[in-house]
Chain A
Amino acid sequence: MAKELLKPIYEQIYGEKFNAYSFEPRMEMQKAIYILQEAGIRVGDYDFLWYKHGPYCQNLQDDILCLNKTSDITIRYSEDAKEVIERVKEVFHMKVEYSRSAWVECLASLQYLRANIFSWNSTKEDIVRDLMSKKPHLDKVETNLLALDKLDYILG
């Protein structure tokens, strides 16, 4: 039943219909679900690991690839979910130096690194440096540092 929730969540966050045939929406879906779960809003039995290209969930990918065939449903969000989704939307749609998909990838990747890999007393610069070594296309230092601040806002 979790996969029925994915398309409406995507539309709620990104304001457009989801298309599973294209790579960028799939990637944006992955990162959105990851960030929601980090903020305490669990969508389904999706567990993320850092694969070569960042936080990723294979079960979610399998569900995403069937989405074009599923019918639309309406979600009655809990109050907690509504608040988190509003914050996610606000941050995801910020005007920054990255494209939307790169910005979302930046946010999710930084969150994964700081929650799982880096020690609590690591500096923001350490985390950003590691991100840039793993993902050279995310090379805007100031934008990456901004992303860390915005993650604190999303996660409350």
Chain B
Amino acid sequence: MNTLLFKRLQSIKQLSIVNWVFPGSEHTRYIHSLGVMYIADKMALQLKLPVEQRKVVRLAGLLHDIGHYPLSHVCEYPYKESLQDFPDSSYCKSINKKVKNDIDELKERSGHVYMKKSNGCHHEQIGADIVCHNEEIRNIIINECGENAVETIADMIIGNVERTNPLLVQILHSELDADGIDYLMRDAMFSGTSFGAFELEQLIGCMCIGNYKEKEILCISPKGIAAADQYLINKFFSYSQVVFNKHISVTEWMAEQIVNWMQRNNAYFPRSSQLKKWVMNPETEDRYIDFTDNYFWASLQNLLANPLADTEPSFIKYFCRQLLHHSELRFEDNSEVRIVSTDIQVIKQELQKSNYYERLEGWEDRIGILNVRPISKQVRQKDFDKMLQTKIEEGNRHPNELDIVTEEDSFMLQARRLMECICVKEGDELHLLCDDKRSMMQSMYNLKLAIFRTYQCRPEHECAGKRR
């Protein structure tokens, strides 16, 4: 905790600019990391892990967010979407075309891959790079837990279940992980909402270890079903009422666009390759330590104050001024479409019926923002089996081709599904909440929230003549 890399988290707010709307949300990634360590340790005690593993779990909980970007997930966006350059002059049209496409392509989850591992410039991969390559952090881990713990902790952070004991990974990477439990409670408490109240002691007290084809699975006993339901529902509400708040959505979007432009043009924000060097190289560690929320705000001021470069698009400067003045783009009254449904086609149709959807692609001075969130990633056993069987049969029709799914692969995929989603253990049998008649997830597992809104993208005085 005394390392500068960890103390850096005191300068990164957990909820970026949510405090503009919920003024109490001043908590940082630092305190959240302490909380995750605490919760992960409670889980380790409940699961009766040996002391050596418990130490590893505590350290992994403490370090899980060490790779976070300024403003948390806001500044991470352009580093994850790194293929394409910043949109050209038809900026609003490019943005809106993507939003329209996202709406048109809404569909039921068709993939069968669970326990996805983070990589590239994801903050978890950055964190794993720090754990593996920063000498100070590595030495602390080795002194506390031994040399093998370095890789174990890195794998727990990125969610790699292939090299490391999957049970340990699930403590930090699953529907029931310590990270989600802490941030639900903490974010609710600091933002002054009630969504964080759930039966924490009951949930953790019912955790146990199940077994699927010799893989250890983090489970709950049937007594924990109600607490698990409550947890998932509360998390769903916290997104609906806090994270997707109309002011927060647009201010975070504005910040993302500014960082996207800066990063693509190597202006103040480093390109991905440069950021990786900051992390991996001891000589540039100081630059990474300074890469916090303060860095973001200073970059905005520098961008506005720089008299020599006038290469930024005018709307980027406009966004900077707005954010520095704690302002945002004007929300278009009556443009919000908000739907909660278990049927993705219903959601899609409601969005497509909106007048604002129809006009999206033609706008040059307005943008649309779409937020979608499912209540869980659970898929019923029979549907999952059917999905896999279809793929295997397709493969059997072309046995000489190697791009197929085989029977062997299906065991691996089934195990991952149980690892990621909340799993109930009854005797030796394991099943997900959505397959349990005692759980509300039986009928709610497919619930999704979609919110679509539009905002003016230009200063008020410029829009006055253009309103339709």
Contact = CB atoms under 8 A, between A and B. Distances in A.
Interface in B149-163: 150-151, 160, 162-163
Contact of A116 (B80, B160, B391): B160
Contacts of A38: 119-120
A118 B163 contact: yes
Contacts of B330: none
A76 interface: yes
Given A47-B116, A77-B84, A58 B406 contact: no
Interface in B89-116: 98, 101-102, 105, 110-113, 116
Interface residues of A, number: 42
A49 B412 contact: yes
B389 to A, nearest CB: 13
Interface in B250-301: 264, 266, 271-273, 276
B88 A42 contact: no
B310 interface: no
A13 interface: no
Main secondary structure of the interface of B (DSSP, over half): loop
A40 B82 contact: yes
A63 B82 CA distance: 20
Interface string A112-149: 00011111100000000000000000000000000000
A42 B122 CA distance: 10
A156 B405 contact: no
Nearest to B416: A49
B84 A75 contact: yes
B460 interface: no
A59 interface: yes
B121 interface: yes
Interface stretch (B186-194, B208-216, B231-239, B396-404): B396-404
A120 B132 CA distance: 9
A14 B120 CA distance: 23
Given A27-B402, A42-B120, A80 B101 contact: no
Given A49-B412, A78-B82, 13 more contacts: A1-B102, A5-B84, A23-B401, A26-B403, A40-B121, A42-B80, A47-B111, A51-B404, A51-B409, A58-B111, A59-B111, A77-B83, A80-B271
Interface of A: 1, 5, 23, 26-27, 30, 36-43, 47, 49-54, 56-59, 61-62, 75-81, 83, 115-120, 156
